[in-house]
Structure 1
Amino acid sequence: MSNPKKIIIRDQLAEIYPDVYTRESLAALDFMTPFNKEIKALMGKRLERRYRRAQAGERIGFLKDDDFIGGTSIRVSDARAGNFEGGVVPADLQRQWIQGTGPGAKPGAAVESSIRNVAYALLSGADGWMFDGEDALGQTGSMSLDNQRNLKLAIHLDPLFLKVAEQVAAQMNTWSQAFFGEPKIKDWRSQLAFTTKIFRARGLHLDDRHIREVDGSSFAASIADLTLYVTNNHRKLRESGASIVLYLPKIQTAEEAALWNRMITALEGYLELDEGTVKVYVLVEQLEATYQLMEIRAALGKHFVGYNTGRWDYINSVSDAMAWDPDFVNPNIESVGMTYGYMRNYEDRVRRAVNTPDRNGNFALWQGGMEPNIPVGSEEGVASSMEKAVSGAQREQREGASGKWVAHWKMVHIVRPVWEQVGEPNQMGRSFPPLTYTQVDADGLILLEPAPRTIRGARNLISVAVQYGNAFGQGMQAAALKPSDFFGNEDVLYLMEDMATGEIRLSILWEWVHKQAKLTEDDPETDLKAGTVFSLELFYQLLAEEYAKLLDAGDKDVHNASKTTTLPIAREIAEVYVASPQKIPWFIDLLNINLNNLDLPLAKQRIRFYLDTLRSKHERVTENLDFQV
């Protein structure tokens, strides 16, 4: 194995994962390392922009027509007019009616058990599967490397993976026979080739836990994920006729998209691939990105194939961007669906952006949002939830989406028929009004509409947020959760929740506390009346009550071992996040600095260090505090 000259890998992981840190991938990481400083500089600009807007009470706006997109020679007006060379959608992405999402690894599991996640995904019948390296992938231990290893084993059809896939296929057919009345997998070997493999790299805002530069600088997780996945798998994917496809998360500006484009182009050149070989979807999950959709398309050029409208992250970004505005207060999270005020306008801009042709007449894909339901519960509960899931998919199909996401393999054959019955592979090129850039458009992207704000809603926010933090600490960044008051009620289904769903719950609670939000309804349980201000004291009271319920819960819902380890830390993080006068940029920051830590006093010390750094230097702490050079 070659020794990289520009990076250091911690704790002999290069020797433990020689199939991930191969000679070729280590050399590629060295080659890509100069981008690390560019990413850090751009993330500094992002945080400074956020701070300046909060201080000045400044709303996000559209770019000026005659400006150039940062990091490019493309004029904003040209991007908006489609005067750029965009990506061509390859054959295996032309039909993506259903994409599943989830990680390709399990926390603390041996390879043969861990790789079952990949087998379920590739046997699910989904048109594509986004194997997550970000919001749904646990980061305890070396899970990010387990994820890379498992994907490589599956893509290369390793005998161990084939053995596991055969076993998993039989188990999936047992379930589908009982649920649908027929086995869905006819030939498991051929089924493995049906699903397009897609990888979501971590965003520019996160650091890798295992790599540093030789000078001790933390190392961007986006470089690690991009480089390892593409370098280790590009040959096998192309030999099998499959595309190399990525999802890019948390992009806020076209300048950030341009940096991604330069990184991908540089890696393609290093690996002697034609520019545009790697295809990317962009998750539109940041408010600022919605003001720059055509600019982001143009900045990604030949690589770009589509947008996805993910609900939870986007709601959080709107809440965060408007944290300075005392009049912007969200209602209960259950009220903020895709047809609600600012969400409706966001979705409309995305579908108009993908159906604006580039200079060669190429359109792009719109992949709809996430269906978090899992068909496990009472017969009545499952029937009701599945009806809602199908209805939501039908709405998105009518609006112009070429497909949507599901969070569990059991949902694929429930939702996919919505597009299957229509029969068209996609809706690219469907006619919508062209995008406009007026004040009315800008206002629509932060449009609030009347909706309930209740104690019941607050309890749901608190309970799921704390449970999510607890799951994260145990290595499960995607977890089936529901509010504690519904534990044991099989009519209320568990939902697959990831990082974004925990974060938006705390963001809304922060809004309610710091903007003195008023309840809209009487609450018979607490005797609080409509018009009562949601104070910090009320939050503390409800947090204590909801935490007590979690301590009393059975092991099925709250693992007993977590009640003296990760659960108290999750409560501390939730309390600090909501109480902090300065809104913390990312919930994941507080969780990340406490990964693999089970000691509450140490957690409190690290949280104080984070807050002190944010207040004094306007900087985030994103490095692995347990890995020092």
Structure 2
Amino acid sequence: MHDIQNNPEHQQKQRQIHQPNAAASRLEVIGSLFSEEAKAILNTKALAFLETLCVNFAGDRQTLLDTRIAKQAEFDSGSLPDFRADTQPIRDDPNWKVDAVPDALLDRRVEITGPIDRKMVINALNSGANVFMCCFEDATSPTWENMVNGQINMRDANAGTIAFTEPKNGKHYQLIGNPATLIHRPRGLHLEEAHILFDGKAMPASLMDFGLYFFHNHQSRKNTGQGVYYYLPKLESMEEAAWWESVFDFTEQYFNADSGTIKATVLLETLPAVFQMEEILYAMRKHIVGMNCGRWDYIFSYIKTLKNHTDRILPDRHAIGMDQPFLEAYSKRLIQTCHRRGALAIGGMSAFIPSKDPEEMDRVTKKVIDDKRREATNGHDGTWVAHPHLVSLAREVFDQYLDGSTNQRHFIPDGTFNREALLRPSRGPKDEQGVRKNIRIAVLYMESWLRGIGCVPIYGMMEDAATAEISRANIWQWLKHNVSLDDGRTFTTEMFREWLDQEVAEIKASSDDPNSRKFDQASDLFFTLSTDNHFADFLTIPCYAKLE
């Protein structure tokens, strides 16, 4: 369609598929096969498929990660993200669209997200939401048992047999009629699984999660008339999208599945990717159905990408809402791009959890309604919530604006959301209160994550790894640039150390059993990640080494 010799689609067509030598396996499971169910998930045929994926795609994945590093070095040296000149023909061509969205994915008005915990999976599927995105990444602490048990839960959920009995009170959980459509979110390209080795090294976690989910569920989903659906996190370029498209094509061929059996929604949650939205849609046009505004990770990516730019320092992250001009531009450009190409545009997360206090619940209700009303009027086709009790509230708002339709792909927002709008600096407070709140939330979250819990209720919000990421990035950037707080004091490492110690002491004092918790370990990691000269790309990578 477009004569770009070096574009990812051309490279994909030139790929030579390699089959592994069955007599000399290059894949080795070193994690415990801790149950008969675990053995069933990691059976010989499933592992053979994982090995085949690694043989064909692990090397290209590393090349993509190396490209990320090189591109970030350019940003660190002073350049700013921009639209690509070599792919302008793709953006300028009005005629191409993504392939048809299957009926099962046309109604995305309310999506609930959550971790792989068995009871929470059942509750999310029964929540009344249109879609449940089960998150193997930011909402899950990637212990080996969590990752394998998550695959067991996905298999049972797709088979309709998933059930759970609470040991403490005997309460029984099982699926009820018309559960939400299940979408699997594998771990991102940057993560590895240390309990399965490929050529003696940790295998790509994305291939493990993707491969096991497809292997164990494609037939049961076909039996119910559905494809296999994924949410893809943290893409940064068209080339990364094309890599996933190649994985999808290969997998469909491997299992003799129809082309388009796999459908994906891309979490548009990195600053580099916002300048390649059309290219990502184009590279994945056979399999992509939409994009989602992963706004918390997007704010983190804005800080990370522009961390050396003194004119792009963000204020306290708690004051950054979707009414900020750079975030409104991000939301509306995503809607414009998706709708012009026939794809869905899903809004962002309301992470609130219900409160028993009537006044607080009134405040939560107002915030959720305002947030969802903004998304619906901008033109989003649906939205995210973190708790089942907010599903009906979010749906009421979208039903009001959709007026009987299941989406609004016909609507394209007015406006030109160019480079300047997408990168516009943000104004807001820089104060001690914000730093202390970042400290408390990040330490509480990281402490839970280190104990194997990745989705944590903190101060009325359901938090995941994006919370800790944006908290430490906020502090790191302020320290690097010697930010002056609103009261005139310069924010220093010594000041941060003092406040961190004070907050951790208070957290311990309010804990029922601080000696059994990992507050000191979480505090040490948070301090290191917030003060190192080198900004760690993702805190989950160094933290992963500390998981038991």
State TM-score, norm by structure 1: 0.79
Equivalent residue for 2:461, pick from 495, 504, 522: 495
- Take 2:545 and 2:92, find their aligned partners in 1: how far apart are those partners? 40
Alignment partner, residue 429 of structure 2: 452
Alignment partner, residue 36 of structure 1: 58
Alignment partner, residue 580 of structure 1: 532
Q: Is the 8 A contact 1:352 1:434 kept in 2?
A: no
Alignment partner, residue 548 of structure 1: 505
Alignment partner, residue 415 of structure 1: 394
Alignment partner, residue 92 of structure 1: 104
Distance 1:562-1:317 versus aligned 2 partners, 3 A rule: farther
Unaligned stretches of 5+ residues in structure 1: 68-74, 106-114, 173-187, 358-362, 483-493, 521-529, 597-629
Q: Is the 8 A contact 1:313 1:504 kept in 2?
A: yes
Q: Is the 8 A contact 1:309 1:369 kept in 2?
A: yes
- Residues 119-157 of structure 1, C-alpha deviations (whole Å, 9 max, x = no match): 101111010000111100121242111001011012112
Alignment partner, residue 478 of structure 1: 455
Shift of 1:560: 2.7
State how 1:509-524 maps to structure 2 within 5 Å.
509-520=475-486
Distance 1:189-1:450 versus aligned 2 partners, 3 A rule: closer
The reply on whether 1:345 has 2:348 as its aligned counterpart is no
Code of the residue aligned with 2:192 in structure 1: it is D
Q: Is the 8 A contact 1:82 1:294 kept in 2?
A: no
Code of the residue aligned with 2:45 in structure 1: it is E
- Residues 302-325 of structure 1, C-alpha deviations (whole Å, 9 max, x = no match): 111011101210000000011111
Code of the residue aligned with 2:136 in structure 1: it is G
Shift of 1:83: 4.4
Distance 1:201-1:11 versus aligned 2 partners, 3 A rule: closer
Q: Is the 8 A contact 2:344 2:409 kept in 1?
A: yes
Equivalent residue for 1:567, pick from 519, 531, 547: 519
Distance 1:212-1:435 versus aligned 2 partners, 3 A rule: farther
- Take 1:22 and 1:429, find their aligned partners in 2: how far apart are those partners? 46
The reply on whether 1:63 has 2:93 as its aligned counterpart is no
Equivalent residue for 1:208, pick from 193, 204, 209: 193
- Residues 364-416 of structure 1, C-alpha deviations (whole Å, 9 max, x = no match): 11110001000033111112111211121111111111111111222212222
Alignment partner, residue 154 of structure 2: 151
- Take 2:97 and 2:311, find their aligned partners in 1: how far apart are those partners? 42
- Residues 226-276 of structure 1, C-alpha deviations (whole Å, 9 max, x = no match): 111011101111111223110000100111111011011111110111222
- Take 2:90 and 2:464, find their aligned partners in 1: how far apart are those partners? 37
- Take 1:12 and 1:594, find their aligned partners in 2: how far apart are those partners? 18
Distance 1:168-1:4 versus aligned 2 partners, 3 A rule: farther
- Take 1:234 and 1:536, find their aligned partners in 2: how far apart are those partners? 51
Alignment partner, residue 406 of structure 1: 385
Secondary structure of the equivalent of 1:337? coil
Secondary structure of the equivalent of 2:259? coil
Distance 1:3-1:419 versus aligned 2 partners, 3 A rule: farther
The reply on whether 1:429 has 2:427 as its aligned counterpart is no
Secondary structure of the equivalent of 1:355? helix
- Take 1:42 and 1:515, find their aligned partners in 2: how far apart are those partners? 30
State TM-score, norm by structure 2: 0.91
- Take 2:541 and 2:415, find their aligned partners in 1: how far apart are those partners? 38
The reply on whether 1:47 has 2:69 as its aligned counterpart is yes
- Take 2:88 and 2:42, find their aligned partners in 1: how far apart are those partners? 40
- Take 2:92 and 2:515, find their aligned partners in 1: how far apart are those partners? 54
- Take 1:588 and 1:392, find their aligned partners in 2: how far apart are those partners? 29
The reply on whether 1:368 has 2:347 as its aligned counterpart is yes
- Take 1:577 and 1:370, find their aligned partners in 2: how far apart are those partners? 26
Distance 1:454-1:12 versus aligned 2 partners, 3 A rule: closer
Q: Is the 8 A contact 2:122 2:175 kept in 1?
A: no
- Take 1:562 and 1:417, find their aligned partners in 2: how far apart are those partners? 43
Q: Is the 8 A contact 1:3 1:26 kept in 2?
A: no
- Residues 74-104 of structure 1, C-alpha deviations (whole Å, 9 max, x = no match): x541244244452311111111111100112
State how 1:617-628 maps to structure 2 within 5 Å.
none
- Residues 94-116 of structure 1, C-alpha deviations (whole Å, 9 max, x = no match): 111111001122xxxxxxxxx22
Code of the residue aligned with 2:131 in structure 1: it is G
- Take 2:338 and 2:110, find their aligned partners in 1: how far apart are those partners? 18
Code of the residue aligned with 1:270 in structure 2: it is Y
Alignment partner, residue 321 of structure 1: 305
Secondary structure of the equivalent of 1:569? helix
Shift of 1:446: 1.8
Q: Is the 8 A contact 1:518 1:531 kept in 2?
A: yes
- Take 1:168 and 1:90, find their aligned partners in 2: how far apart are those partners? 41
State how 1:193-342 maps to structure 2 within 5 Å.
193-213=178-198, 215-342=199-326
Code of the residue aligned with 1:456 in structure 2: it is Q
Code of the residue aligned with 1:513 in structure 2: it is L
- Take 1:434 and 1:168, find their aligned partners in 2: how far apart are those partners? 55
Shift of 1:450: 2.4
- Take 2:260 and 2:170, find their aligned partners in 1: how far apart are those partners? 35
Secondary structure of the equivalent of 1:211? strand
Unaligned stretches of 5+ residues in structure 2: 1-21
Distance 1:401-1:4 versus aligned 2 partners, 3 A rule: farther
Alignment partner, residue 615 of structure 1: none
Distance 1:462-1:14 versus aligned 2 partners, 3 A rule: closer
- Residues 482-525 of structure 1, C-alpha deviations (whole Å, 9 max, x = no match): 3xxxxxxxxxxx201100111001000011111111122xxxxx
Alignment partner, residue 393 of structure 1: 372
- Take 2:493 and 2:499, find their aligned partners in 1: how far apart are those partners? 10
- Take 2:157 and 2:277, find their aligned partners in 1: how far apart are those partners? 34
- Take 2:242 and 2:24, find their aligned partners in 1: how far apart are those partners? 27
State how 1:432-443 maps to structure 2 within 5 Å.
432-433=413-414, 441-443=418-420
- Residues 421-456 of structure 1, C-alpha deviations (whole Å, 9 max, x = no match): 3332001121335867xxxx2122121232111111
- Take 2:480 and 2:278, find their aligned partners in 1: how far apart are those partners? 35
- Take 1:82 and 1:394, find their aligned partners in 2: how far apart are those partners? 30
